[in-house]
Structure 1
């Protein structure tokens, strides 16, 4: 009995350590790449109101330059605090959750090939769905505050003074359920991005190691993170565009909604802007996911090593 309790205690301690390490790594990655995420969000919102001036083509460099010109360098970090808050919930739940699901379905440390790529993709998607449902309110506030900078650049007052003011105003005007506005497209995106990211990183890293392209070190982690970033971006970008537009529309008692649902948003976006609009922000998304995953996975793997844990 004592041995069983000790094993359980060690398991809890390992899980809490992994949660702490994922949070630290995620905060470092988010802070490093947040300007690219802001640029991506502004690009995805560009053109949604079908104004003549809003339908002209624009670029990520142009959007970023306009933000700096109008708001200064710190304008690139508008909405960072709710983004950090989101990752304190989202990243530990999806990473640690995936690892537990992977072990539950037959994976063992060092095995790597004990699960198929399709099985890993399913487990990654499911862990992402659960994590996103929990973190969706913080994600909503992040999107709204990022969009606020666009409003301020037009000479209008921002909707929210900070993350807590945003939470308060959203609940007051849209109800508590309003914090989960856009949760369905959000969950769709989370499933796709984690299906691509976690499964691809896991599979690619072990492929690189098994084929002696690199040992289990920073080179293998870098190669795997680049491949997973590309896979995650390709799969998730359409759902990300829909999610961003759905979450950005604030709905009061007497206000009309632009999109009735995620499918309506999808149809209207394609009808007004063409199917290529579903991949708006693809390159800044990929440009962000690549560095984000590099910073996260390299730091997370290193921290696990320092803490005496096995490689992911």
Structure 2
């Protein structure tokens, strides 16, 4: 009983820390969501034109497609100017609800998954390679189940949070509270509306988990012997895996808004996608899969024109002279 009480205490302490951190960094996350959902440079008042030609030549000597700018902070400043300080925390309540629900679900699921062999506290250095691999697979499988459960139960709150933030674009005023938002989604889209963007979000999280841990396992057991260095390897591989799977996060947030009836999720701001694969293909075509991936670097997609009521990346083929007869 004492051990169970201690675990419950640690669980709630972890949840409290997550709530605090998410509350503190919410304005940054808010700006990130807006950047992910909209074509960069097309939002009134938020376009940033890089004019420092000397800096551009220095940074883009190798053909980089990124412009250095105060893009994140430009969004936050614009939000604060229009909606005030409290406006920077739009969508915080459902976001915190999602974090609390996901944290508790993850803890409960992982606690109830037990393996007969190599579970609990063991000295990794005393295990042979086969046993290390077995333990790695067990722990990663358990964490995968916990994360999948956490994402599934928290998705409705995540959808509400993303849509609440997306309302900044058109000032729709529909998602003014959690209970009101639940009614709006159920009335307009039914139960499936609460799980928009679920599949790419699941794929993003689980792919990042397995990729990061697999790379760390291989490098730490076959290439690196220093114990201190192994800790840095794990952190680096997790960061790399998150970067590689980031496009799926963009797709997930776009799918949470597309077709919702909000101005941000309707043409010309965003197409109505047939599914998340259609969304991925479109974002790849307009080079939008890295939106919001960096606080300091803005992905440059080239000149944008309106084509059929929707923004599109201008290409040479659009302006090619017709063939002579």
Structure 1 gap segments, 5+ residues each:
1-8, 215-219, 287-312
Partner of 1:283: 294
* Matching of residues 101-116 of structure 1 within 5 Å: 101=113, 106-112=118-124, 115-116=132-133
RCO greater where, 1 or 2, for CA within 8 Å and sep 6 or more?
1
Give me the TM-score of the superposition, normalised by structure 2: 0.65
- Paired with 1:19 and 1:95, the residues of 2 have a C-alpha distance of 7
Partner of 2:84: 72
- Paired with 2:108 and 2:218, the residues of 1 have a C-alpha distance of 17
Larger radius of gyration: 2
Residue by residue over 1:32-65, the C-alpha shift from the partner in whole angstroms, topping out at 9 and shown as x without a partner, is 22222112111101219x9697998772222222
* Matching of residues 1-312 of structure 1 within 5 Å: 9=1, 12-47=4-39, 59-95=71-107, 97-98=109-110, 101=113, 106-112=118-124, 115-116=132-133, 117=136, 120-152=139-171, 157-195=172-210, 211=226, 213=228, 227=236, 230-251=239-260, 258-271=272-285, 273-274=286-287, 277-284=288-295
8 A contact 2:197–2:252 mirrored in 1: yes
8 A contact 1:124–1:191 mirrored in 2: no
8 A contact 2:213–2:234 mirrored in 1: no
Structure with the higher helix share, 1 or 2:
1
The number of residue pairs the alignment matches comes to 258
3-state SS of 1:258 partner: coil
Cα RMSD (Å) of the superposition? Answer: 4.0
Give me the TM-score of the superposition, normalised by structure 1: 0.67
Structure with the higher strand share, 1 or 2:
2
- Paired with 1:133 and 1:195, the residues of 2 have a C-alpha distance of 18
Partner of 2:321: none
- Paired with 2:186 and 2:147, the residues of 1 have a C-alpha distance of 25
C-alpha displacement at 1:203, in angstroms? 11
- Paired with 2:197 and 2:209, the residues of 1 have a C-alpha distance of 18
Partner of 2:310: none
